[in-house]
């Protein structure tokens, strides 16, 4: 009996099966992801391939069917603007409007601009162990993979125009064509326009007399075949051409591409093909709720996330609720990392039948390589310890963590990684924003009473709950809300707005270190602190 799973990749896999009528496996299910090689691969690239892979594996699990993932790079797309983060800006500016595959590599390491970026894409995807077949537009057009589809589109060009033209601004309709011929003289595709179609010859006439930005066409007029790479299709039509030519069964896209997907679906039906199952996902936002943009540099890059947390934590974040917009900025990393570790702790007790509904089952190759982790140490704990000890050496952090949780040694590599990345995160994103404040007179009384309690011998035997209770008892005795005392502990002792539970923090860093922090931060006036004379209240 086939199990019914609740996780979204399985729901998508069921859609694929149902979309082909009988609910049976296809001879070969084709999954596709598409990329523009105008810049380096980024976090969105990882997210789309990871999510598509999870659906692909869920499909295989449900029906045992064979699958293939095509990673398609449109290297015939023209260079629309010079990316600000690349070398040789002046050289690239000379090639605006030309296909990326015809532009020299600004780094000088590959045969073309797109060749460099596609190599980076392959290296990027290989790093994370994705299974895919890399295709490029220049290869597909040149080798005739699209010839059948191009012939169909040429013979149905009027119907395609009927679909696309109403979606364009009126001033752009007269010169628009789904075919983008490459000028045989200047090599540009964005300064050409189609003059007439020669359907019987599978060719078209064009003139290179249009304007692209500040660039004028060279004026050349010519005739070219629609086959062999002399033309490429415009974006929405090109998408339909890929679906038709490769028999794509499933593809994801961002919410902003829903209108394009709808138009491409109409066009592929005109061609006599089948619309693949589509799945739109929400976009990543920065801390202000604005869409993340490579040109703006807002949000978190792939490299930045991996500097502070392992890729599995990012995969976990991406897995959750793909149709909910996610804020992607530095403050989310500790929370996500701690959630991921918590999932690792819980996974062993999940019953086998329910494990495919866990994010870890999908993230770790259908549950085959889920790492064990039954240790209480997490990312936030490491940062709290670093904050309390003042950026100690990793070895000292390790000693404190070993004392706090005796199972740390069993997970030495994971804990060592938490220490390394936690120190980096603290240095870059916590330390620069620390702002210690002086305690009020009332707060000094509270800290003085806490200090008295902590130096009493019985306190050393208190557990976390007992230590936590001290704060409530002291606050109640002074007629203060406990949350106000907790806030004072964070702001006065740690220099931050939020912090750990006092009981667990005190057990982690030790009573002696808490006493030292109070004496340093709360029991001196600024003058006394610099002179070394204590004035305990």
**What is the C-alpha to C-alpha distance for residues 137 and 36, in angstroms, rounded to an integer?**
10
Stretch 16-43: mean pLDDT = 87
Q: What is the CATH number of the domain that holds 22?
A: 3.40.50.620
**Which of 465, 463, 497 is CA-nearest to residue 483?**
497
0.95 exceeded by the pTM?
Answer: no
Q: Give the total number of structural domains in the chain.
A: 3
118 plus 47 within the same structural domain: yes
38 plus 122 within the same structural domain: yes
79 plus 40 within the same structural domain: yes
- The domain boundary, picked from 81, 106, 140, lies at 140
Segment 378-397, tens digit of pLDDT: 999 999 999 999 888 999 99
- The domain boundary, picked from 116, 140, 164, lies at 140
Q: Assess if residue 85 is contained within a domain.
A: yes
Helix or strand (DSSP H, E) at 222: strand 221-225
**What is the C-alpha to C-alpha distance for residues 426 and 88, in angstroms, rounded to an integer?**
36
Q: What tokens does 386 get?
A: 């670093």
Q: Would the pLDDT of 1 be above 60?
A: no
How many other C-beta atoms are found inside a 10 Å radius of the C-beta of residue 143?
12
417 plus 487 within the same structural domain: no
464 plus 406 within the same structural domain: no
Q: What is the CATH number of the domain that holds 479?
A: 1.10.10.350
**What is the C-alpha to C-alpha distance for residues 348 and 491, in angstroms, rounded to an integer?**
39
118 plus 6 within the same structural domain: yes
Residues 6 or more apart whose Cβ sits within 8 Å of residue 208: 183, 185, 186, 188, 191, 192, 217, 218, 219, 220, 221, 222
Contact 337, 307 (CB under 8 A): no
Tell me whether residue 68 is exposed, middle or buried, using C-beta atoms within 10 angstroms of its C-beta: 0 to 12, 13 to 18, 19 or more: middle
Sign of CA dihedral 300, 427, 403, 514: negative
Q: What tokens does 365 get?
A: 């190759």
Q: Assess if residue 48 is contained within a domain.
A: yes
Q: Give the domain range for residue 86.
A: 1-140
DSSP string of 354-377, one letter each residue:
GGGGSHHHHHTTTTTTPPP-----
Q: Would the pLDDT of 248 be above 80?
A: yes
pLDDT at 39: 82
- The domain boundary, picked from 140, 173, 206, lies at 140
Segment 141-182, tens digit of pLDDT: 999 999 999 999 999 999 999 999 999 999 999 999 999 999
26 plus 86 within the same structural domain: yes
Contact 182, 231 (CB under 8 A): yes
418 plus 445 within the same structural domain: no
27 plus 58 within the same structural domain: yes
Segment 435-473, tens digit of pLDDT: 999 999 999 999 999 999 998 888 778 899 999 999 999
365 plus 383 within the same structural domain: yes
371 plus 488 within the same structural domain: no
């Amino acid at each position: 009996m086939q199990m019914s799973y609740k996780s979204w990749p399985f729901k998508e896999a069921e859609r694929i099966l149902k979309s082909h009528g009988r609910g049976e496996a296809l001879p070969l299910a084709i999954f596709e992801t598409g990329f523009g090689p105008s810049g380096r691969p980024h976090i969105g690239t990882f997210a789309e391939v990871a999510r598509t892979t999870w659906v692909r594996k869920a499909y295989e699990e449900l029906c045992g069917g064979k699958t293939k993932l095509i990673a398609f790079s449109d290297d015939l797309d023209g260079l629309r603007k010079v990316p600000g983060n690349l070398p040789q800006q002046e050289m690239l500016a000379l090639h605006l409007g030309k296909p990326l595959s015809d532009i020299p590599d600004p780094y000088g390491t590959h045969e073309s601009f797109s060749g460099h970026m596609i190599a980076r894409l392959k290296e990027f995807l290989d790093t994370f162990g994705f299974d895919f077949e890399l295709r490029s537009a220049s290869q597909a057009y040149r080798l005739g993979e699209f010839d059948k589809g191009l012939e169909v589109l040429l013979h149905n060009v009027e119907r395609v125009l009927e679909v696309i033209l109403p979606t364009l601004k009126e001033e752009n309709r007269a010169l628009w064509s789904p075919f983008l011929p490459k000028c045989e003289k200047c090599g540009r595709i964005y300064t050409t326009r189609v003059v007439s179609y020669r359907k019987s010859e599978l060719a078209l006439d064009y003139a290179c007399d249009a304007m692209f930005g500040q660039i004028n066409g060279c004026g050349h007029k010519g005739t070219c075949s629609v086959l062999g790479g002399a033309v490429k299709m415009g974006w929405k039509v090109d998408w339909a051409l890929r679906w038709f030519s490769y028999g794509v069964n499933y593809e994801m896209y961002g919410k902003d591409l829903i209108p394009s997907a709808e138009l491409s679906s109409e066009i592929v039906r005109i061609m006599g093909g089948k619309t693949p199952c589509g799945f739109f996902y929400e976009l990543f936002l920065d801390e202000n709720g604005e869409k993340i943009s490579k040109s703006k540099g807002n949000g978190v890059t792939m490299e930045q996330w991996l500097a502070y947390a392992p890729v599995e934590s990012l995969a976990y974040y991406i897995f959750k609720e793909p149709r909910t917009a996610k804020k992607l900025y530095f403050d989310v990393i500790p929370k996500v990392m701690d959630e991921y570790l918590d999932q690792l702790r819980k996974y062993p007790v999940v019953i086998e039948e329910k494990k495919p509904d866990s994010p870890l089952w999908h993230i770790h190759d259908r549950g085959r390589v889920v790492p064990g982790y039954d240790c209480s140490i997490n990312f936030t704990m490491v940062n709290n310890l670093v904050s309390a000890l003042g950026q100690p050496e990793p070895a000292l952090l390790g000693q404190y963590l070993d004392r706090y949780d005796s199972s740390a040694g069993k997970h030495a590599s994971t804990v060592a990684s938490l220490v390394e990345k936690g120190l980096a995160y603290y240095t870059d994103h916590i330390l620069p924003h620390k702002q210690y404040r002086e305690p009020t007179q009332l707060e000094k009384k509270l800290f003085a009473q806490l200090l008295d309690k902590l130096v009493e011998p019985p306190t050393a035997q208190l557990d976390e709950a007992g230590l936590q209770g001290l704060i409530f008892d002291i606050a109640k005795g002074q007629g203060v809300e406990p949350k106000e005392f907790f806030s004072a502990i964070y702001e006065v002792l740690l220099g931050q707005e939020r912090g750990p539970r006092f009981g667990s923090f005190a057990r982690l860093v030790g009573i002696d270190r808490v006493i030292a922090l109070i004496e340093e931060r709360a029991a001196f006036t600024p003058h006394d602190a610099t002179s070394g004379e204590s004035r305990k209240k």
